[in-house]
Chains A and B, each alone.
Chain A
Amino acid sequence: MISELEILKKRLEREKKARIEAEKILENKSRELYENNLKLNELNDNLKSEIEKRTSEIIDKEKKYREFIENSSDIIYTTDEDGYFTYINEAGIKISGYEKNELIGQKFLFLIPQEHHTTVEDFYSLQLSQEKKSSYFEFPIQNKSGSTLWIGQTADFIKSGSGSFEIRAYGRDITEKKQLEEYINRSEEKYRNIIENLELGLLEVNTEDEIINVYPKFTQLTGYSKEELIGKKAKEVLLPDEYYDEMSHNEKEREKGVASVYETQIKCKNNELKWVIISGAPYYDKSNKIVGSLGIHLDITDRKKMETDLLLAKEQAEKSIQTQELFMANMSHEIRTPMNAIIGMNDLLINSDLSNRQLNYAKTIKSSAESLLVIINDVLDFSKIEAGKLELDPTPTSIKEVLEKCINIVSYKAEEKGLPVSLKFDNEIHHLHLVDGIRLNQIVLNLLSNAIKFTDKVSITILCELISSFENVQNIKFSVKDTGVGLSQESIKKVFESFVQAEGSTTRNYGGTGLGLSISKSLVAQMNSELKVESALNKGSIFHFTLSLKKTKLTERLLLKEEIEDVNLDGLTVLLVDDNKVNRFMALTFLEQKGCIISEAENGKEAIELISTNQFDIILMDVRMPVMDGFQATKIIRDELNLFTPIVALTANALKGDSDKCLAAGMNDYLSKPFTKEQLFHKMNYVVKNNFSRRKNNKTTSLLDITLLENATMGNAAFQSEMISLLIEELPKDIAKMESAISEEDIQVLALAAHKIKPSINYVAIKPLRDKVREIESLSSWDDHSKSIGNQIVSELKSLIKELRKVK
């Protein structure tokens, strides 16, 4: 048992211990508290300086901002909700010209001219009602000194905590920009006015093709009012359907920014179509974006109508010329065919056993027929000249011979009248010139017949003088001088007119068509000279002209008179194709005299049948025949039977272009009816001797095909000939290479050479040759086949070069 005292002692002890413990804790706590206090003070101090630092920084920043705002070249200001200035920076003050205290407390509208108040107010009340935070607007202000400036202003509406607004505005002086804009607008307007005054209708469309502006002239042009057009699609209202495609093309161009001018028709309000020239150009906004196009319309309806009228008139005129020509050709055919028979049969008659009287009659028939033929030829020539269809065919010609022939022809008539016709020929004149001998003959013959007609006694002289001589050219004066009745001054004026003769009665007295001089004059004109006349009544006349003629050398085509008679046709097999029995009989008689062996056919079809089974040296072929005509028959002979027997067309058509047609059909030559037997013999001889071999060569072995070259050079002849020269120069080298490759049996070298020439060969060679080259190129081993192709190519290329030389 523990005594109460002991318990208390123990408890006291524990209390003491606990108290010391508690004091220690307290001591620690107060030290902790003290230290914490120290720390707190320190933190406090730090906080203070930090706050001071921050505060001064903020003040600094604000100062900077303020300075920035103050010194900004832009106008910066704030207003309250009702637009009263609460702040305005230096720039604003300067621009306005007012003092700061004059502005603060004023409404900002105070600076804006009265007449703009509503627009500005409306703009900003709209911004307020739409609660748009920011906006941009341009308006003018009036400064204190009274001048107007334009301001471009961004205004921000800023809601403050209390729910009211502050307006912060940043403005800039845009007066210069505004003036420029106005200047542009004004000059634009000015040009529009000018264009409008030029009777040009202006139309503006946007990129959607919607009409956005119409100018008065355009409304006059179309009959639509401005209101009727605005907002409509231009194409839908104004363009006839058939022009849609073209217009779309033009619109695409416009989108690319390209202006264009084109003709089109437009639909007017009353459905009338009008022709206009539209000059369309894109137009741009400030940022250079295309926003539409402006079309300038010029009414060309009247001009168009004139154009079409003219075209129609021209067509009609051309048509009438064609009909006329056709008529002439038909007529000539109708007359010449029987004339041919008359003259031919008459020739046969003259050569037969006749009494003197009969011979006399026959000769009269002959001369009448011949003069009739002259008249027909005159008429035909005249119509050709009138139609501009007469063409000269200059060939190497002996002028002296032509003139002598003329005298020969007229000598019979001249002798009848007892008129000597003499020739004075300058021997300095070269023996051959390039001139259309037939036409020269015609001119001189006309002048001679004319002189003979009007001369009764004394003489007629042909003068041929050398005026000047150059290396290649000689100027030669031809004169026909007579001692006849001569011409009055008045008659001289009219002497070359068609159908006019010295006196109205001449035709009756002297005969003829009255076209001779007119034709001669035209022919001389075509030879680049002028037929002139010098004459006085009873003093005779001199008709003269001077030709500038090229000297030339003799060629195969010139055949002298003696040679014609020398023609040997003995044993020649001839196929005679003509539907006219008389004609056939006549030709038959001529040819039999020459010893020809003749077969006859009545038309093209019969001819082909005969040709298929027999061989002929020459075919004489009429052109116009029933069943099958000469052109068709020739085509079949050449293209289907693949025969190159020479064919001479016997044509009664004097129509120009017939000769071309004959040659195009594959005939070798042609002879115009009526012809003399000498002409026929000569033609046959010529064709058999020359043309046969040449044409045959051309037809069978031509390796040349320059279609591709022509296409590639687009018809540029100079370039083509350049190419061809190059080939002529280069190809032989390649050929040599190929030859040596073949002899060395080196397929690779051969293939390489083929590869090299392939591109150029493609331009000029026919397909089979091109294919061969391609084949060689692809070969890889040497054998008999490659050898044979190689040799073929080499020989063909050689011929090709020859042909190239020829076309060059």
Chain B
Amino acid sequence: MKGIIFNEFFEMTDQKFGMELTEQLISQSELSTDGAYTAVGTYPHQDLVSLVVNLSKIKNIPIDDLQKAFGVYLFARFNYHYEHFFENVTDALDFLESIENYIHIEVKKLYPEAELPKMNPNRIDENTLELTYHSEKAMAHFALGLIKGCLEHFDTEAEVKMSPVTYGQLTDVVFRIKRT
């Protein structure tokens, strides 16, 4: 997991719960770096899991909700950090449709170590898009947050339905995004 994700996570806890809680979270979690992350570095995914689990305990907030909140928050940050991905794009669904085949591909070029999920798009019609999430990581609610953040960013009213599709030991999740 890229350092930037951790830094943004701490930025969020700072903003939402205060610096004191962030310190508490760092000292309580088992982290590979004692909490020192640089944006360009790459760190174990387990660090993020540990942070999310402890925050959920301290604040008594379900993990899913935390993930979702982080997604919403992070999307705005992506807008800030990766401005060029947003050039010429005006529609939320178009943007979401392009994650798999454009944005995450460019991300992989920038950070070859990045471990990115599959976000297979299926454009049903002008106002409907299905994204199928497939990953080693259980970050479907993080994805949901990112989608919500995206809709918010583009000022789009849409209904997002999340349905898991299980096969073997893995569970894919299908997001059905329908403009309202």
Instruction: Compute how far the CA of A564 lies from the CA of B39 in the bound complex, rounded to whole angstroms.
Output: 167
Across the two chains, which residue of chain B brings its CB closest to A3? B20
Q: Does B156 contact A (CB under 8 A)?
A: no
**B38 interface neighbour in A4, A13, A25, Cβ under 8 Å:** A25
Known: A14-B35, A17-B33, A17-B34. A25 touches B23 (CB 8 A): no
Taking CB atoms, residues of chain A closer than 8 Å to B23 are 2, 7, 10
Q: Tell me whether A21 and B19 are in contact (CB under 8 A).
A: no
Report the minimal beta-carbon distance from A333 to chain B, rounded to whole angstroms: 132
A1–B23 alpha-carbon span in the complex (Å): 11
A19 close to B20 (CB less than 8 A): no
Question: Which residues in A have their C-beta under 8 angstroms from that of B110?
Answer: none
A731-B116 Cα distance, complex, nearest whole Å: 115
Of residues 1 through 41 on chain A, the ones whose CB sits less than 8 Å from some CB of chain B are: 1-2, 4, 7, 10-11, 13-19, 21-22, 25-26
A15 in contact with B20 (CB, 8 Å)? no
Q: Which of B27-64 contact A (CB under 8 A)?
A: 33-41
Q: Across the two chains, which residue of chain B brings its CB closest to A29?
A: B40
- Cβ–Cβ < 8 Å partners of A4 in chain B: 19
Min CB gap A32→B, angstroms: 11
A22–B20 touching, CB < 8 Å: no
A17 to B38, CA, bound (A): 9
Chain B hits for A22, CB < 8 A: 38-41
Complex CA gap A2/B39 in Å reads 27
Q: Are A21 and B20 in contact (CB under 8 A)?
A: no
Q: A18, B19: Cβ atoms under 8 Å? A: no
Q: Are B41 and A15 in contact (CB under 8 A)?
A: no
In whole angstroms, what is the CA distance A13 to B23 when docked? 13
Closest Cβ of chain B: how far from A390's Cβ, in Å?
130
B19 touching A25, Cβ below 8 Å? no
Q: How many residues of A contact B (CB 8 A)?
A: 17
**Chain B contact surface mostly:** loop
Chain A residues 499 to 542 lying within 8 A of chain B, measured CB to CB, are none
Q: Which one, B34, B35, B38, contacts A19 given CB within 8 A?
A: B38
In Å, the complex CA distance between A19 and B37 comes to: 9
- Whole-angstrom distance between the Cβ of B65 and the nearest chain A Cβ: 26
Taking the closest CB of chain B, its distance from the CB of A35, in whole angstroms, is 16
Q: Could you tell me if B20 and A18 are in contact, using CB atoms closer than 8 angstroms?
A: no
Q: Which residue of A lies closest to B6 (CB)?
A: A18
Q: Which of B19, B36, B40 contacts A17 (CB 8 A)?
A: B36
Q: In chain A between 713 and 754, which residues have their CB closer than 8 angstroms to a CB of chain B?
A: none
Bound: A63/B173 CA distance, A: 66
- Once the chains bind, are B40 and A25 in contact (CB under 8 Å)? yes
Q: Complex: how many Å from CA A25 to CA B33?
A: 15
Report if A7-B19 is in contact (Cβ < 8 Å); known contacts: A17-B33, A17-B34, A21-B36.
Answer: yes
B56-96 vs A, Cβ < 8 Å mask (1 yes, 0 no): 00000000000000000000000000000000000000000
A18 to B19, CA, bound (A): 18
A residues less than 8 Å from B39 (CB atoms): 22
CB distance from A12 to the nearest CB of B (A): 11
Chain B residues whose CB sits within 8 angstroms of the CB of A15 once the complex forms = 36
Docked complex Cα distance between A642 and B57 (Å): 148
Mask for A683-697, Cβ within 8 A of B = 1, else 0? 000000000000000
Q: Report the bound CA distance from A25 to B34 in whole Å.
A: 18
Task: Quote the shortest CB–CB distance from B88 to chain A (angstroms).
Answer: 30
Max chain B Cβ within 10 angstroms of own Cβ: one of A2, A15, A18: A18
In the complex, what residues of B have CB within 8 A of residue A11's CB? 19
Complex CA gap A345/B174 in Å reads: 156
CB distance from B139 to the nearest CB of A (A): 24
Are B20 and A14 in contact, CB atoms less than 8 angstroms apart?
no
Q: How distant is the Cα of A21 from the Cα of B40 in the complex, in angstroms? A: 9
Residues on A with C-beta less than 8 A from B41 are 18, 21-22, 25
**A14 contact set on B, CB distance < 8 A:** 34-36
Which of A4, A13, A14, A25 is most buried by chain B, counting CB atoms within 10 A of its CB? Answer: A14
State the CA gap A428–B148 with chains docked (Å): 166
Provide the bound-state CA to CA distance between A16 and B36, in Å: 8
Residues of B within 8 A of A10 (CB): 23
B38 proximity list for chain A (CB < 8 A): 18-19, 21-22, 25
- Taking the closest CB of chain A, its distance from the CB of B111, in whole angstroms, is 11
Chain B residues near A18: list those with CB within 8 A. 3, 36-38, 41
List residues of chain A with CB within 8 A of the CB of B3: 18
For B22, the closest partner residue in chain A by CB is: A7
B4 → chain A closest CB, angstroms: 11
How close is B47's CB to chain A, nearest CB, in angstroms?
A: 13
CB-CB under 8 A from B19, the residues of chain A are: 4, 7, 11
| Distance of A197 Cα from B129 Cα, bound (Å) | 101
A1-B20 Cα distance, complex, nearest whole Å: 8
* Distance in Å: Cβ of A545 to nearest Cβ of chain B: 140
B19 closest partner in A (C-beta): A7
Inter-chain CA distance A7–B22, complex, in Å, is 10
Instruction: Name the residue of chain B whose CB is nearest to the CB of A14.
Output: B36
Q: Which residue of B is nearest A10, CB measured?
A: B23
Closest chain B CB from A588 CB (angstroms): 142
Give the CA-CA distance A7 to B20 in the complex, in Å: 7
Per-position binary interface string of chain A over residues 299-333, scored 1 when its CB falls under 8 Å from any chain B CB and 0 otherwise: 00000000000000000000000000000000000
- A538-576 contact mask (Cβ, 8 Å, vs B): 1 or 0: 000000000000000000000000000000000000000
Shortest beta-carbon distance, B175 to chain A, in Å? Answer: 34
Interface string of A360-394 (1 = CB under 8 A from B): 00000000000000000000000000000000000
Chain B residues contacting A7 (CB-CB under 8 Å) are 19-20, 23
A141 and B19 CA atoms in complex are apart in Å by 103
Distance, CA A1 to CA B36, complexed state (A): 22
Q: How far is the CA of A16 from the CA of B34 in the complex (A)?
A: 12
Report Cα–Cα, A225/B39, bound state, in Å: 109
Cα separation A7 to B38 with both chains bound (whole Å): 18
B 1-28 binary contact with A (CB < 8 Å = 1; else 0): 0010000000000000001100100000
Query: CA separation between A587 and B36, bound complex, in Å?
Result: 172
Kindly state the separation between the CA atoms of A370 and B41 in the bound complex, as whole angstroms: 167
Taken together as a complex, chains A and B put the C-alpha atoms of A17 and B31 apart, in Å, by: 14
Within the complex, the shortest CB–CB distance from B61 to chain A, in Å, comes to 22
Most chain B beta carbons < 10 A, residue from A4, A16, A22: A22
The CA-CA distance from A21 to B37 in the complex, in Å, is: 8
Cα distance, A207 to B144, chains bound together (Å): 89
CA distance A10 to B39 in the complex (A): 18
**In the bound complex, CA of A511 to CA of B47 (Å):** 173
28 pairs, A vs B, C-beta closer than 8 Å: A2-B20, A2-B23, A7-B20, A7-B23, A11-B19, A13-B36, A14-B34, A14-B36, A15-B36, A16-B36, A17-B33, A17-B34, A17-B36, A18-B3, A18-B36, A18-B38, A18-B41, A19-B38, A21-B33, A21-B36, A21-B38, A22-B38, A22-B39, A22-B40, A22-B41, A25-B40, A25-B41, A26-B40
B positions within 8 Å CB-CB of A? 3, 19-20, 23, 33-41
**A-B pairs with the 5 shortest C-beta distances?**
A17-B36, A22-B38, A14-B36, A18-B38, A18-B36
Apart from A7-B23, A19-B38, A21-B41, what are 8 other A-B pairs with CB-CB below 8 Å? A2-B23, A10-B23, A14-B35, A17-B33, A18-B38, A21-B33, A21-B38, A22-B38
